[in-house]
Chain A
Amino acid sequence: MTRDIALVAFAQTDHRRSSDELSEVEMLMPVLHEVLEQTGLKTADIGFTCSGSSDYLAGRAFSFTLALDGVGAWPPISESHVEMDGAWALYEAWTKLLTGDADTALVYAYGKSSPGSVRDVLTRQLDPYYLAPLWPDSVALAALQAQALIDAGDTDERALAAVAARSRADASANSHAQLARPVPQGDYLVQPLRTGDCPPIGDGAAAVVLAAGERARDLCERPAWIRGIDHRIEAHGLGVRDLTDSPSTRLAAQKAGAFERPVDTAELHAPFTSQEIVLRGALRLDDTVRVNPSGGALAANPIMAAGLIRVGEAAAAIHRGDSDRALAHATSGPCLQQNLVAVLEGDPR
């Protein structure tokens, strides 16, 4: 590792079921301004800008180009986009800073799920030959994984309900969360998953600023140093994988250095209660680790931003001094197909 890189600012919108009155750029702009304000940087000071979003949520081609209006792209900026969760945009920005081509980076992500049906939209990311023509929706696929866990004796419906209750209770301290109070487990949406096991559908955006070396100390009192990031992927065929495990998460965590020393906090991108069970196992998290003190994706799950928010929440815990070493995880694809793990640390106190 040639340079130390830290996350120095994080902002997110209030996540809401619907934000009709706002275009994507109108929803995004306040968080862009907020992270710049936290650091005192102006757009022109930023070395690299990278975003994550999805045209399928917007229903329009190249929708991210309009969101760029919120950044201020004149004089011309160095910019890139991933059609994925913003956590992967952060990964790209991190590698850009590692090369020394830039000292600061702005990373943002947004998703407005309210215009369409997110369960239908997500079917379009599946294998187009064998899966997509059957339209298996995201809840159904997560339910197959949940049943596999129940059959394996790794969890039961009561344990899943406990994950849901803990997440929403913790979210009461998070003013941005969409569900910040206990939610009834409700009826089966797709058995064995009940409404309470599933994330809320909502609109939202998030942004972070990364900085290298001394720049990070100038911009932030207690930078959240990124000690490692890695992301790994598994076969897209669900029937090829063991749905009760997440070897890609484990490998990403290992490569990111997560197992070298214990973490005190973990922000896991587990939109479904059952996925937290899988991730805790893969990451060997025991009860000494605070998992999702923000409430996690069960409290607010703006598609394409929820993973970046996990990294942002982990970093914010370090900024506040609530954590010294935190793990952040983001996922994409059905049943935890792709996973990113970042390890963040504050300076010793």
Chain B
Amino acid sequence: MPEVLKAPLAVEFPFTRSLGPVQSAFLTGLRERVLLGVRTTDGRVLVPPVEYDPVTAEEIRDLVHVATTGTVTTWAWNHEPRRGQPLDTPFAWVLVRLDGADTALLHALDAPGPDAVHTGMRVRVRWAGERSGAITDIACFEPCDGEDTVITVHVGEFEEPVTGIVAPARLDYTYSPGRAQSAYIHALAERRTVGERCPSCRKVYVPPRGACPTCGVATTEQVEVGPRGTVTTFCIVNIKAKNLDIEVPYVYAHIALDGAGLALHGRIGGIPYDQVRMGLRVEPVWTQGARYPDHYRPTGEPDAEYDIYKELL
């Protein structure tokens, strides 16, 4: 069995999210070094604030100013900070109930070691140098020797409120396509196209995925198909894709390689776009160093009869 392929795969996306009125006030407040909570109808103050009461689901909008000092309600010592976490030196994760609040906020506590941390200890906010209206505007918490900040009344109105956040996220994977697709890709490197035959319905799948989706059984028998094939259906593309170096219009087609039980897709070249037709016989054109055919061109053979490929449309 040839080696199963592996490649790094990074999934990265800048999630752009809009904020509701309470979240907007809270995150704008962080930018201005003001901590806000929200008061529920029964008088509890939630920090971080939410727009709906987690108990009654009632809409809540009554903003309350809370202190930048608070008490640790639980903690966990993080020996090895991971990418994206608030500090890159060992720190404690903490839930902190800020003075004036009834619920706790999750963040990091900068402390010399686990022996310096305990539930009930007093901490205060350390602000980030540059603040933009995000939870990371709190750089972390730090131990505090007891003095409380003065809480003032605040209506939660700011100039230029933050109305959205961009939360970049990246996850790293090592992708492996598994046995069947690895074999397909290995064969393509030798300019051969290999499918797999279903032991039950005898259909040859190209590219193979290791299972017959019709019968739900494993496919194992490898079958070389092509290189020639038949256009089963096609469309004419008139819109130029960004960063794609292909002149429009061009033809994108389903091609049933000889011996294959279903069509794969590819671009048709070497023939004017308006002369491509169902039944056209084509063959792959490889460019130097390519890992798959660049396009398919007419072979010059007579067109295939409709009955031959009608099941493969």
Chain A positions near chain B (C-beta within 8 angstroms)? 20-26, 29, 32-33, 43, 56, 59, 66, 68-74, 114-117, 119-121, 123-124, 128-137, 140-141, 143-148, 151, 188-193, 235, 237-240, 243
> How far is the CB of A85 from the nearest CB of chain B, in Å?
20
- By the criterion CB–CB under 8 Å, are A21 and B4 in contact? yes
> Which of B74, B82, B97, B165 is within 8 Å of A129, CB to CB?
B165
* Interface status of B73 (Cβ within 8 A of chain A): yes
> Which of A29, A116, A191 is within 8 Å of B173, CB to CB?
A116
* Interface status of B213 (Cβ within 8 A of chain A): yes
> How far is the CB of B147 from the nearest CB of chain A, in Å?
23
Q: Work out how many contacts link A and B, with CB atoms closer than 8 A.
A: 186
| Selected A-B contacts with CB under 8 Å, 7 pairs | A23-B176, A24-B178, A59-B11, A69-B213, A135-B84, A190-B78, A237-B48
If the complex has contacts A59-B9, A124-B169, A130-B48, are A239 and B179 also in contact, measured as CB distance less than 8 A? Answer: no
Q: How far is the CA of A114 from the CA of B76 in the complex (A)?
A: 26
Kindly list chain B residues whose C-beta atoms are within 8 Å of the C-beta of A146.
76
- By the criterion CB–CB under 8 Å, are A22 and B169 in contact? no
> How far is the CB of B243 from the nearest CB of chain A, in Å?
21
19 other A-B residue contacts (CB within 8 Å) besides A23-B181, A32-B216, A188-B79: A23-B178, A24-B178, A29-B217, A43-B216, A59-B9, A59-B11, A72-B215, A115-B175, A128-B15, A129-B17, A129-B48, A132-B169, A135-B82, A137-B82, A140-B76, A143-B76, A144-B75, A239-B48, A239-B103
Segment of B59-67, B204-212, B246-254, B292-300 in the binding face = B204-212
If the complex has contacts A23-B179, A69-B213, A240-B46, are A136 and B119 also in contact, measured as CB distance less than 8 A? Answer: no
Which of B50, B75, B177, B210 has the most chain A CB atoms closer than 10 A to its own CB? B210
> Which of B4, B9, B83, B177 is within 8 Å of A120, CB to CB?
B83
> Which of B23, B119, B135 is within 8 Å of A134, CB to CB?
B135
- By the criterion CB–CB under 8 Å, are A115 and B97 in contact? no
Kindly list chain A residues whose C-beta atoms are within 8 Å of the C-beta of B95.
144, 238-239
If the complex has contacts A72-B215, A133-B167, A134-B106, are A23 and B209 also in contact, measured as CB distance less than 8 A? Answer: yes
* Interface status of B308 (Cβ within 8 A of chain A): no
- By the criterion CB–CB under 8 Å, are A147 and B211 in contact? no
- By the criterion CB–CB under 8 Å, are B74 and A151 in contact? yes
* Interface status of B289 (Cβ within 8 A of chain A): no
Q: How far is the CA of A117 from the CA of B171 in the complex (A)?
A: 8
Q: How far is the CA of A137 from the CA of B176 in the complex (A)?
A: 25
- By the criterion CB–CB under 8 Å, are A192 and B76 in contact? yes
- By the criterion CB–CB under 8 Å, are B210 and A23 in contact? yes
- By the criterion CB–CB under 8 Å, are A191 and B17 in contact? no
- By the criterion CB–CB under 8 Å, are B216 and A147 in contact? no
- By the criterion CB–CB under 8 Å, are A72 and B212 in contact? yes
- By the criterion CB–CB under 8 Å, are B172 and A20 in contact? no
- By the criterion CB–CB under 8 Å, are A240 and B54 in contact? yes
Query: What per-residue 1/0 map shows which CB atoms of B120-152 lie under 8 Å from chain A?
Result: 000000000000001110000000000000000
Kindly list chain B residues whose C-beta atoms are within 8 Å of the C-beta of A116.
171-174
- By the criterion CB–CB under 8 Å, are A26 and B27 in contact? no
> Which of B4, B75, B135, B175 is within 8 Å of A133, CB to CB?
B135
Q: Which residues 215-258 in B have Cβ within 8 Å of A in the complex?
A: 215-218
Query: What per-residue 1/0 map shows which CB atoms of B150-183 lie under 8 Å from chain A?
Result: 0000000000000001010101111111111100
- By the criterion CB–CB under 8 Å, are B211 and A120 in contact? no
Kindly list chain A residues whose C-beta atoms are within 8 Å of the C-beta of B114.
191
Kindly list chain A residues whose C-beta atoms are within 8 Å of the C-beta of B304.
none
> Which of A133, A189, A239 is within 8 Å of B105, CB to CB?
A239
> Which of B15, B171, B174 is within 8 Å of A121, CB to CB?
B171
Residue of A at shortest CB range from B79?
A188
Residue of A at shortest CB range from B27?
A129
Kindly list chain A residues whose C-beta atoms are within 8 Å of the C-beta of B181.
23
> How far is the CB of A277 from the nearest CB of chain B, in Å?
15
Q: How far is the CA of A22 from the CA of B177 in the complex (A)?
A: 8
Q: How far is the CA of A130 from the CA of B137 in the complex (A)?
A: 11
* Interface status of B309 (Cβ within 8 A of chain A): no
* Interface status of B86 (Cβ within 8 A of chain A): yes
Q: How far is the CA of A239 from the CA of B98 in the complex (A)?
A: 11
If the complex has contacts A70-B211, A124-B171, A238-B104, are A26 and B76 also in contact, measured as CB distance less than 8 A? Answer: no
Residue of A at shortest CB range from B175?
A115
> How far is the CB of A100 from the nearest CB of chain B, in Å?
26
- By the criterion CB–CB under 8 Å, are B83 and A130 in contact? no
Kindly list chain B residues whose C-beta atoms are within 8 Å of the C-beta of A68.
213
- By the criterion CB–CB under 8 Å, are A59 and B171 in contact? yes
- By the criterion CB–CB under 8 Å, are A22 and B85 in contact? no
- By the criterion CB–CB under 8 Å, are A239 and B106 in contact? yes
* Interface status of B214 (Cβ within 8 A of chain A): yes
- By the criterion CB–CB under 8 Å, are A25 and B104 in contact? no
Q: How far is the CA of A114 from the CA of B174 in the complex (A)?
A: 8
